[in-house]
Amino acid sequence: MIDFNELSAPFPPSRIHWRVGRTNDNKSKGMVLAYLDARDVMGRLDEVCGPGGWTDEYEETRSGRVICTLGVQVDGRWVHKSDGAGDTSFEGAKGAISDAFKRAAVKWGIGRYLYECKAPWIDLDNGYIPKNFDGSQYLTSFSSKQMKTKVWNALKEAASEEDDLKCKETWRELSTEQQLEIWQDLSSGIRSTIKKLLEEENESV
């Protein structure tokens, strides 16, 4: 049975790549966007679904757009989801196939959280992203906005009810990165209550 949480789980920051999107007129500043390499998407599918548990097929439309249909075996039956892309400015048709594959994978939850990440404007080096750029600070550590909201609501409810057990259980299920991210979104009042409820966990917040 497929674990869809594993399928949509965030990738290590080292596996996330960045490219320049929009720029100002002289290209001294640009918006950078996070993306995944297609091979990492394949690896995730192999890991969660098994090498024989997924298939990909491609079709080119009259306009030259490439459509990828990504099939996954779910509870003994094949389920297919499709998406497409046009030629890229870097790799042409090869880029279209890769982009179509990754977009179809997003419909299965793979890398979908990257669409919710910040796309910061940074200083560019001759139009390119500087080699020392660290994009990890802009990545969300939650696989979806819904997951983050669920955790936020659970902590808020635990604080209002002063339920130390629920608070500790919810907090311990989070990674350090997730704890830091959710902590920034909590009000000072809720933070104060949670600190009291966590007791021995105080040092981690």
Q: Identify the band that residue 87 occupies on the pLDDT scale cut at 50, 70 and 90.
A: low
Residue 32: its H or E element: strand 29-36
Provide the pLDDT for residue 203. Answer: 47
Tell me the whole-structure pTM to 2 decimals: 0.69
Domains of the chain (ranges, CATH numbers): 4-135 (3.30.390.80), 145-204 (no CATH)
Residue with the bigger pLDDT between 147 and 10: it is 10
C-alpha span between 42 and 38 (Å, rounded): 6
C-alpha span between 178 and 146 (Å, rounded): 14
Cα dist. 126→23, 26, 138 in Å? 12, 9, 22
Provide the pLDDT for residue 100. Answer: 95
Share of the chain above pLDDT 70, in %: 92
Q: What is the mean pLDDT of the chain?
A: 88
Share of the chain above pLDDT 90, in %: 60
Q: What are the tens digits of pLDDT across the range 35-82? A: 999 999 999 999 999 999 999 999 999 888 999 999 999 999 999 999
